[in-house]
Amino acid sequence: MKQQVAKSINSHINEFSIPLIICLFGIIIGASYYVNLWRMGPDGLSIVSHSTPYWDFNNLWTGGRLALEGHVDWLFDTEKYRAEMRNLLGPNLPPQEWSYPPNMLLIAAPLAMFPPIIAYIIWTLGSLLLLYIAIKPFKLPPLLQLVILFSPAVFINTLLGQNGTFISALLIMGLYHAPKKPVLAGICIGLMTVKPQFGVLLPFLLIASRNWTAFISASVTALGMVILTSLFFGFDVWSNFLGYTQPMMRGIMEAPYPQDYHTNAVPVFIFVRAIGAGLFGAYAFQAVVSVLAIIIGVKLWHRSTNIDHIQRVAVTCVLVMLATPYAYTYDMVALGAAIVIVYATSERLVWFPVFAPIWLFPLFNHVIISQHPKLSFGAICILATFILLSLTLRFQKLKPIR
């Protein structure tokens, strides 16, 4: 028995040697970033981020803390919000803003019951566990599961204390379970409304597949979150969000290129801004790409389309990234998973030379953009991934996952 297990492990190592090498390279780079991030300066802040080592998680925790203390209205007052964040987490913190829809408080408030570092660990490990649960039904070999869980996008997400892993896990679960477990799928899609820009494509897919159960489940879940948020945190929280947070976030998205945060931005909208287009041109180009993504997605999910569901899910994860005007490298977790899934279910001749740079892209994008702002090619990577995955599925024989 032991010999059979050892033989199986050796067989997988030999078969997946190329992605393992890529994965190990990414882990080494990602781990070095992480170690440096936790090097503290005399002010008690990270010498890399000049903030706490859990960085963007400051927002999630502070928002939850204010909600627990009955000061939800401070989320919509920049000066009070920043002052309280510095009071709670350190006087030298750089300015940050609450940028989430109010239903994110349903997640933030329970986390804020714990000290910040404990909450960050719970959030990070919990998101990874959810991602593992999301990819488990694909029955990927354990080594390829690890490649997904330790992908560069996951590392960047962990470095920033962001929610890309969490949202990607919900996206993958929602898409995968839609045909056979539509209620569960709808709940996952409804929960994604805490980051609504990634839901642009999803209603069209459910309608195209005539999956009314999943559509209703998603709608009820989203509406339920709105009602719960209003009951727990006040009915004016949504009007404050629409009157303050939404215009603020639109201003951040529309700010002249380049801004510091553009070093991690990947949508078509930002790519077009980087090459010199104005706001109208950027919106127009993004609209065209989003509409094309919707059309392709509808075709992909229509009942008449003959495609393996696992591979449909993988390609859709990439389409979701193309359709949104607001995304960053830490949101590319599902895209990385899609590459691995297609790699595992098709002939793998094109994987190494083509997908390796895209796989590693989240680790190096910020370095390149900070030195050469005009080279904002995140959207090109996403578009290339979609085209290459589509070609791989079209021209290569389907292989069962082993």
CA pair distance 377, 384, nearest whole angstrom: 10
Report residue 4's pLDDT band, with 50, 70 and 90 as the boundaries: low
- 294 Cβ neighbours under 8 A, 6+ residues apart: 200, 201, 204, 323
Could you list the residue range(s) of the whole structural domain that residue 305 is in? 2-93+102-395
pLDDT reported for residue 345: 79
Q: Is the pLDDT of residue 401 over 50?
A: no
Distances (CA, A) of 103 to 299, 322, 384: 32, 25, 34
- Structural domains in the chain (count): 1
Share of the chain above pLDDT 70, in %: 92
pLDDT at 42 over 50: yes
- 402 domain residue, yes or no: no
Residue 292 CB contacts under 8 Å (≥ 6 apart), including other chains: none
Residue 317 has pLDDT above 80, yes or no: yes
pLDDT in tens, 225-255: 999 999 999 999 999 999 999 999 999 999 9
DSSP structure string for 5-54: HHHHHHHHHHHTHHHHHHHHHHHHHHHHHHHHHT-B-TTSSBTTTSS-TT
Instruction: Output the DSSP codes for 342-397.
Output: HHHHB--TTIIIIIHHHHHHHHHHHHHHHH-TT---HHHHHHHHHHHHHHHHHHS-
Q: Are 253 and 228 in contact (CB under 8 A)?
A: no
C-alpha pair distances (Å), 345 with each of 63, 85, 144, 314, 397:
42, 47, 12, 11, 9
The tens digit of pLDDT for each residue in 51-92 reads 999 889 999 999 999 999 999 999 999 999 999 999 999 999
For the stretch 353-395, pLDDT in tens is 677 888 889 999 888 888 888 888 888 889 888 888 887 776 5
Residue 347 belongs to some domain of the structure = yes
| 225 within domain boundaries | yes
Question: Contact at 8 Å (CB) between 72 and 66?
Answer: yes
Look at 142 and 317; give whichever has higher pLDDT: 317
Can you spell out the DSSP letters for 302-358? STT----HHHHHHHHHHHHHHH-S--BGGGTHHHHHHHHHHHHHB--TTIIIIIHHH
Mean of pLDDT over the chain: 90
Residue 401 in domain: no
**Is the full-model pTM beyond 0.85?**
yes
Q: Is residue 400 situated within a structural domain?
A: no
